[in-house]
Amino acid sequence: MRDSLPIVGALLAAVAGVALVVVAISVFLAPRGDGDGPLGFPDAEPLPSWAPPADPPVEASETTGPGIAGVVDPLWLAETAQTTGIPERALAAYAGAAIMKSIEAPQCGLSWATLAGIGATESDHGRHGDSHLDENGTATPGIFGVALDGDGVALIPDSDGGEIDGDAQADRAVGPMQHIPQTWRNWHVDGGGDGIEDPQNIDDAVLAAANYLCRASTAYDTEDGWRAGIRSYNIPEFYLGTVAKYAVEYADAAR
């Protein structure tokens, strides 16, 4: 099956020479820990400091479609979506990206559950507000974070003329994984295999995040490596704990 994945080499080549862009954003769209998430963990529970690796996803014996979603075994996908509560379309992206990275960068150790924890925290798996993922995995309507104008949040002046985030005054994080325009310009990728690079698409956004994270740290199977990597995505300790809580719950549910 791996011989049928020419997308991998192209994706890695596209990002190999790009410097890591680390920007601290102190807000995120879907903070958890209030009992309202799909797993409903209550406020009183202490947040874990990190998320050990989940059991790896099962790779499809034959690809079921283009891009990263097509490399995931359909039975594993259906069963794991049911036990974790993660929408199947989003889970396919998390698992597919983890499979890709296990092939090309096995030392990274980035887990599908950690990617899912980020997706849950950032946008409730593309369901923030009135949005949902369509059959192609694109958030509809698009997801846009708050203006990063320095008013209680990080100050990130407009860098794209509003082309990516629709705001010509200040940058906003966009899409299911909440990439800021600066980061997307450096890590843009076609994870869906449709010839389009779109931060609002779950496949593109998750694979870009996985590439970014595996450049930030190459030891997600250790607490120090996990924390360093997730901190490169968003600094607050509550953010790390929230992502970890989701990742641990998803990994346990999948077992």
Integer CA distances (angstroms), 225 to 25, 137, 241, in order? 20, 30, 15
Q: Are 113 and 251 in contact (CB under 8 A)?
A: yes
Q: Are 119 and 125 in contact (CB under 8 A)?
A: yes
Helix (H/G/I), strand (E/B), else coil: 231: helix
**Other Cβ atoms within 10 Å of 120 Cβ, number:** 28
Q: Are 244 and 34 in contact (CB under 8 A)?
A: no
DSSP 180: -
pLDDT in tens, the chain (255 residues): 333 333 333 333 333 333 233 344 445 665 433 444 444 444 557 899 999 999 999 999 999 999 999 999 999 999 999 999 999 999 999 999 999 999 999 999 999 999 999 999 999 999 999 999 999 999 999 999 999 998 888 899 999 999 999 999 999 999 999 999 999 999 999 999 999 999 999 999 999 999 999 999 989 999 999 999 999 999 999 999 999 999 999 999 999
Integer CA distances (angstroms), 202 to 36, 43, 139, 151, 155, in order? 22, 29, 7, 29, 26
pTM to 2 decimal places: 0.86
